[in-house]
Structure formats: C-alpha cells, structure tokens
Amino acid sequence: MTTTLDQIPVKRALVSVYDKTGLAELAQGLSSAGVEIVSTGSTAAMVQAAGVPVTEVAQVTGFPEVLGGRVKTLHPFIHSGVLADKNQPAHMDQLAEHNIEAFDLVVANLYPFVETVASGATQAEAIEQIDIGGPTMVRASAKNHGSVAIVTNPDAYHEILTAVANGGFSLGQRRRLAVEAFAHTASYDTAVATWMAEHFDDADHPSYAGHALQLQESLRYGENPHQPAALYTAGTSAPGIAQASLLHGKAMSFNNYVDADAAVRAAFAFTEPAVAVIKHANPCGLAVASHDADDAIADAHRKAHATDPVSAFGGVIAANRPVSAAMANQVKDIFTEVVVAPGFSPEAREILSAKKNIRLLQLPDGFDLDTTEFKQISGGMLVQETDIYQAPGDNPEQWELVAGEPADPAVMQDLVFAWQAVRAPKSNAILLAADRAAVGIGMGQVNRLDSCRLAIERANTLGTASTGAQEVSAPGGAENVSGDDAPDRATGSVAASDAFFPFADGLQILVDAGVRAVVQPGGSMRDDDVIAAANVAGITMYLTGARHFYHG
C-alpha cells in the first residue's frame, strides 16, 4: 500500500514562469538554501542574470526547446521527475535506471491567454498564447502532491522560502497548493474553451459557456440567517461589485451585495451624473442631476432621495460619479446600509466614516456592467445579453407619436429619463418622472393596473416636494402625507411603462391622476383602445417599439 510522506525536503525545483514577478528573489532564496533550480529558456536567463546557478531544461532533456517554445518541458526526463511517487520503490528504481532525478517543487504560471484576448489580439496571437507545457507541469505536480509541491501564484513565494527553511512543505500545504493548482488550470481551460466556442461554433449561441468560480469570501449568512452563503468571483466581462473595496463599515452581507448590484445597474444605466436608492433590489429613488446643478452628484442624490424618502430608510445608494462632500452631508443623517460609488472625495469619506453602521464601497478600476447575464434555474442556466445598452427603441428620434402634441423639450427630457429609468424596477413597472427624477414607481406587480395604481399612490402619498435629509433620519421621521396635505406629484408628471398596456384601464388611471405624457412600447392587441384613451384625455403618447421587462 502506498503511504504518503508528510514533509518532503526541497532539494530540486523546476521553475518555469511567464509572470516573472519575484523570480530573482525566489531563485536567490532557493539557491542559498541549497536547492538546485531547473528552468526553461527566459526563466533560466533571468535566474542566471540574478547571479544564481541554474540548469536549463534542455540540459536535462538533451533536447532543445523547439517549435518556437511549443515544446520545452514536454519530455519524459522532466515529467518522470515530476510524476514519480517517492513512496513507490518501483518508481524510484525506474528513475535510477533511466538516470532521472525527481523534483520536490514545481513553480509554474501560464501564458496570459485571458489578457491576450482582452487586449484585442488576433485569433492567431490568442492561439499562440494557449499554454500547453505549463498546464501539463501544473496538473502533473498537483496530481503527485504526495511527493511534489506545486506553486502557481507569485504571491506565495515567501511561503516557499519559509517551507524550504523549515524542512519542506507539509502534506497539508501540498494538498492546499494542489487544489489551487487544479483551480488555476481549470479556470485557464474554461477561458480557452469559452473563447474557442465563441469563435469557432457556427450555432447562434456557443456550445459551451464556462464559469470558473473562485471563493472570494464567506458571508455571515445568505438571504436569511439560516442560509449559509459565500461570495465567489466569476470570470465576467469586467470587474464589478464583487471586486469592489470596502472602505468603511461592517462586512457586506448577501443582501447588501444583491442590492448594491441592483443599485449600480440602475445608476450606471445613465451617462449623466445619476443616483439610485435601492430597497430589496428595487429602486425607491432614481434621478439624474439638473443641468445647472453646482454639485451634480449631490443634486442627483437630493432628487433621488426625494422620490420616496420613507422607503430610502435602510437603503443602498449607488452614485455613478465620486461622492462629494455635499452628497455625503445629505446622506449622513439618513440611515443607509451601503453607499457604492466609483470613489469618495477625502472629505466625503471622512464625513461618512463617522457613521458606524454605513458601508462605503468603492468600485474597482475599470468597473463596468456585465454584457452577459446568467440566471440560474433548476437544472440549468439561462444566458442573455444584458439589457443595458441602447436598444433600437431607446432612440427618441425613432419614437412614434401616436397621441397628443409633440412633447416640448422639457417634457421630452423627462420622457427620455423615464424610459431609461423604467428598466431598473422589476416588471411590471410604471415609473412617473418629473424634472428627470422618479416621483412614483409601481414595480413588481402581477398586473399593470396595480403598477399604475402603486406609482400614483407613491407619487401622491409619500414624501414631500422638498426633502431635506434630516427629515428622514429615522423610521417615522418622514410621514406618509395623505388627505388634503398630500403632495400631488402625479399631476404634470410623465410616465413610462416597461411593456405595453394590455388594456386602456391602466392608462386611464395615469390620465385620471394628471399624467401629461406617456412613453410605452406599444404592440398590444388593443393599442387602438389605449391610443384612443390618450387622445380623448389630450395627453401625449409615444410608442418605442421596444420593451424593457426586468424580472430580477
């Protein structure tokens, strides 16, 4: 029976790395500990340049690197030394018979395939960056972790030198490194397979779409306290919320991540300075800054907060511009779970960091919304292009005026805002807007009639026209204003509907509440009824021809 050695002293190392960060220091450390280093072409050259003795792979194999580097370490003299089980006398006898020496350590990292593709390289260049010998070494040594330690991450070089100084890697360390190594090659192959399927498959959709999930952090719990949960990063098209830095506050929770994601989805749909306030993945505040605002992001936040100040309590706020001191001063007295933004001015950070319970999340450099969305269903995964980019019906110049007078520029701006904003709430969604801010949102209803009612109710019973942050610093701090004192924000507002009105009844609710203009996709069997109702009411109605359902 094979037993496993616990600690294996490191006497001989195979080092073949594309990323040469920390290589010279590693080589010096290994060499001073008496470890023989065997390396491929430019790795060996760099080790030598650092004044460290090195044996070239070609000296071991007696065969030069050929085919422009496609064959370097792919040789039995190398791979027998990597794969020999030191607990099996037969293996060691065979090495001796063929005059092959075993390795105790392999240090390898791979050609930058993902980075090459991302740089816009040609297919031929990308293919040349598919590492073959590297993954073979990594997989072989990870399989043979009973006898060999495999290190793929330059950040772990200090761990190598510590282990070498302490008599070698323990079995526990070698097992952990083997998991990392197979994860490294698995995500590498996933990237290659996904890229090849995208480029070589003839079908409408690639036959394979891989996701390599890497544990980022364990979360306290999931959506509810009895649900264990963790955050994994995935190889998505751009860095996102999962890569954001927590500048202040307690660890992000599962629901914080979900809401922060919905918040940036809503705020970053706009090119102008915009702020979204999210509760339970739905917006309760959404606005872009006024054109003449002194502090654009503070203005956008003031307007977004005014959408529904009661619901903003305990919300997640996303800004698509760095948070200014003025915005921070508005936010500081509102109980807020998370503020997520591309940055915080030093003053804004100081103001908000004085609040113990707020989390400040800074988006990573290069942040962008993903271009592809995955939605898990039982037994499978739905994949679609994300609904963030301009769809044909998003261009107002192509909208069809089907009722009333053409909108004047101010009303048209509100319609354009409302049409962009209505994709943030879950469908069925009706969004009322004024001055490029949402003033009433009906979302997530199972019929459009109720969404219309909800949007009107929110516009006319919640919040006030002017909402200083102090008014809403605690539950009950903002009142549900109704009756004679109720604001009438529906009158004169515009409405967007994320999908067509199946009947005229929903539209009639908006008309009766004083909505002056509506934008909607059209396409209902009863469009004529809906358009007739708009004409009777004398309101403006545009059809976009495009729908923006969002099921979340």
> Looking at 14, 30, 43, 260, which residue binds ligand FAI (CB under 6 A)?
43
- Nearer to ligand FAI by Cβ, of 46 and 286: the residue is 46
Residues, the chain, total? 552
> Looking at 8, 23, 31, 40, which residue binds ligand FAI (CB under 6 A)?
40
- Nearer to ligand FAI by Cβ, of 134 and 444: the residue is 134
Which residue from 104, 392, 417, 380 is spatially nearest to 283, judged by alpha carbons? 417
CA 102/CA 88 separation, integer angstroms: 13
Q: Does 205 bind ligand FAI (CB under 6 A)?
A: no
Residue 441 forms beta bridges with which residues?
431
Which residue from 85, 34, 82, 28 is spatially nearest to 51, judged by alpha carbons? 28
CA 91/CA 83 separation, integer angstroms: 9
- Nearer to ligand FAI by Cβ, of 137 and 244: the residue is 137
Element spanning 410, H or E = helix 409-421
Q: Does 73 bind ligand FAI (CB under 6 A)?
A: yes
Q: How far is the CB of 178 from ligand FAI (least distance, A)?
A: 17
Q: How many residues bind ligand FAI (CB under 6 A)?
A: 21
Q: Does 131 bind ligand FAI (CB under 6 A)?
A: yes
Q: How far is the CB of 20 from ligand FAI (least distance, A)?
A: 7
> Looking at 5, 58, 60, 74, which residue binds ligand FAI (CB under 6 A)?
74
| Rg of the Cα atoms in the chain | 30
Q: Does 133 bind ligand FAI (CB under 6 A)?
A: yes
CA 285/CA 459 separation, integer angstroms: 12
Q: How far is the CB of 38 from ligand FAI (least distance, A)?
A: 11
Q: How far is the CB of 130 from ligand FAI (least distance, A)?
A: 8
The one segment of 125-133, 409-417, 443-451, 534-542 that binds ligand FAI by CB under 6 A: 125-133
Which letter does DSSP use for residue 446 in this model? Answer: S
> Looking at 9, 69, 314, 492, which residue binds ligand FAI (CB under 6 A)?
69
CA 37/CA 30 separation, integer angstroms: 8
- Nearer to ligand FAI by Cβ, of 113 and 268: the residue is 113
Q: Does 17 bind ligand FAI (CB under 6 A)?
A: yes
C-alpha angle 98-101-106 in degrees, rounded to nearest 5: 135
Which residues touch 57 (CB under 8 Å, ≥6 apart)?
A: 14, 16, 38, 39, 40, 41, 44, 65, 72, 73, 75, 78
Q: Does 24 bind ligand FAI (CB under 6 A)?
A: no
Long-range Cβ contact pairs of 87-94 (< 8 A, separation 24 or more): 87/2, 87/3, 87/4, 87/5, 87/146, 87/147, 88/2
Structure tokens at 198: 């995208």
Structure tokens at 400: 């069809």
Which residues touch 235 (CB under 8 Å, ≥6 apart)?
A: 114, 187, 190, 191, 194, 210, 211, 212
Q: Does 42 bind ligand FAI (CB under 6 A)?
A: yes
Which residue from 507, 520, 518, 517 is spatially nearest to 546, judged by alpha carbons? 520
Q: Does 18 bind ligand FAI (CB under 6 A)?
A: yes
The one segment of 13-21, 206-214, 342-350, 542-550 that binds ligand FAI by CB under 6 A: 13-21
- Nearer to ligand FAI by Cβ, of 132 and 231: the residue is 132
The one segment of 10-18, 197-205, 249-257, 401-409 that binds ligand FAI by CB under 6 A: 10-18
Residue 85 forms beta bridges with which residues?
none
Residues annotated as catalytic are: 143, 280
CA 56/CA 65 separation, integer angstroms: 10
Contact flags string 86-115 toward ligand FAI, x per CB under 6 A: ----------------------xxxx----
- 120 φ/ψ sector (left φ>0, alpha ψ -120 to 50, else beta): left
Asked if omega into 428 is within 30° of 0 (cis), the reply is yes
Q: How far is the CB of 259 from ligand FAI (least distance, A)?
A: 41
Which residue from 362, 346, 404, 356 is spatially nearest to 531, judged by alpha carbons? 404
Q: Does 58 bind ligand FAI (CB under 6 A)?
A: no
> Looking at 51, 70, 488, 528, which residue binds ligand FAI (CB under 6 A)?
70
Q: How far is the CB of 215 from ligand FAI (least distance, A)?
A: 24
Residue 317 forms beta bridges with which residues?
277, 339
Structure tokens at 322: 């760095």
Contact flags string 407-426 toward ligand FAI, x per CB under 6 A: --------------------
Number of helices (H) and strands (E) in the chain: give both, helices first: 18, 21
Per DSSP, which regions of 289-408 are E strands?
A: 315-319, 336-341, 359-362, 372-377, 380-385, 400-403
Q: Does 254 bind ligand FAI (CB under 6 A)?
A: no
> Looking at 71, 213, 391, 481, which residue binds ligand FAI (CB under 6 A)?
71
> Looking at 134, 315, 440, 463, which residue binds ligand FAI (CB under 6 A)?
134
Q: How far is the CB of 140 from ligand FAI (least distance, A)?
A: 11
Q: Does 467 bind ligand FAI (CB under 6 A)?
A: no
CA 138/CA 366 separation, integer angstroms: 31
The one segment of 127-135, 256-264, 292-300, 539-547 that binds ligand FAI by CB under 6 A: 127-135
Q: How far is the CB of 281 from ligand FAI (least distance, A)?
A: 42
- Nearer to ligand FAI by Cβ, of 109 and 141: the residue is 109
Which residues touch 96 (CB under 8 Å, ≥6 apart)?
A: none
> Looking at 14, 16, 252, 320, which residue binds ligand FAI (CB under 6 A)?
16
Q: How far is the CB of 64 from ligand FAI (least distance, A)?
A: 12
Q: Does 404 bind ligand FAI (CB under 6 A)?
A: no
Q: How far is the CB of 101 from ligand FAI (least distance, A)?
A: 18
| Binding-site ranges for ligand FAI (CB under 6 A) | 16-18, 40-43, 69-74, 108-111, 131-134
